[in-house]
Structure 1
Amino acid sequence: MVQRTSQSLVDLTSLVRKLSQGVVTLQELDATDRRILAALDEDPRVPIMVLAQKLHLARGTVQSRLERMTASGALRPNSSRVLPSALGRGVAAAVSAELDQSHLNEAIAALREIPEVLECHAPAGDTDLIIRVVAKSPDDLYRVSEEIRLCPGIVRTSTSMFLREVIPYRTTGLLKE
C-alpha cells in the first residue's frame, strides 16, 4: 500500500510540475477530461451546471477540471471567436516566408503588429514561417502580403489564397482516441 501511495504521489507531483509549465498533453487527460472537452466542443456555451448534469458529474468536478485544463493550456480561455468575414475580411490566405535567421525575433515582433495576421507557425521544411492572414479583397491581400514582405528579416514570401474552407477547425475526433 505504501509503495502504491508513493507512486501515486510521484505521478501527481509530475502532473503538477507539467501543469505549472503548461505542458499537459492529451495523453495526460483522463476519460472524464475528454468527455468534458467533447461536450464543450459540441456546445461551447453550455453552462457548467448543465454540462455537469449531461455528463452525470458533480458541478464542482466539472468546474475544477475546466480550471485545471485552462491553466495547463489544454483548453483555451473562453473567448468569442469572431469570423473574419463578419468583420469584412472574407479573403483568407497562407503566406510562406523565408527569413534571415539573425532577424527572427524582429520579424515575429513586426508580424504581431499586422492586424490581418491571425496566426503564425514555424514549420519543418523549406519555409521558415507559415502565416495565416485575412483581407478584405484580393487587392487588400496584396497589400497585406507586401506589408509582411517588408517586415525586417523577411527575405522572400509566397502567398496562397484559400478558395474555400473544406474542413473547418476541429478536435472532436482527437478526443475519441
Structure 2
Amino acid sequence: MCAYFFISHRCTSCDDIIPYIRDIPEVSRCQAIAGDMDWLVYVQANSVSRVYQIREQLDLLKEVSRVETLMVLYEAI
C-alpha cells in the first residue's frame, strides 16, 4: 500500500519535524512543499492498517497541526 501524507506543523522551523519522520521506516520520500501544507511524505507500507498506524503516529505529535492522507489506488508508470 502506498500513500501520501500532507503535513502541516507548528514548529519554528520546518526541519524540526524531520527526526520524527525519519524514524518511520516506511517513509521513502519527504519533501518540503509550498502552499497550505508544509511537507509531502510518501509511504510504502505492507497494509492499509499500517498506513493508518503511521497516520495516527503523526497525528499524535504535538508538533503536527494537520495531516491529510491520499491513498494510491493504482500506479500507471
For this structure pair, what is the TM-score category when the shorter chain's length is used for normalisation? 0.7 to 0.9
Residue 127 (structure 1) aligns with: 37
Shift of 1:118: 0.8
Compare the two structures and name the one with the higher strand fraction. Answer: 2
Structure 2, unaligned runs of 5 or more? none
Shift of 1:160: 0.5
Q: How does 1:23-172 map to 2 (within 5 A)?
A: 91-102=1-12, 104-167=14-77
Over alpha carbons, which structure has the higher Rg? 1
CA distance in 1, matches of 2:27, 2:62: 16
Structure 1, unaligned runs of 5 or more? 1-90, 168-177
CA distance in 2, matches of 1:166, 1:92: 13
* TM-superposition CA deviations, 1:105-138 (whole Å, max 9, x none): 3311111111011110111111110000111211
Compare the two structures and name the one with the higher helix fraction. Answer: 1
Task: Say what the alpha-carbon RMSD is for the aligned residues.
Answer: 1.5
CA distance in 1, matches of 2:21, 2:61: 7
CA distance in 2, matches of 1:148, 1:115: 13
State the identity %. 32
Equivalenced residues, count? 77
What TM-score do the two structures reach when normalised by structure 2? 0.87
CA distance in 2, matches of 1:94, 1:151: 18
The higher relative CO (CA closer than 8 Å, separation ≥ 6) is in: 2
**8 Å contact 1:92–1:161 — kept in the other structure?**
yes
What TM-score do the two structures reach when normalised by structure 1? 0.41
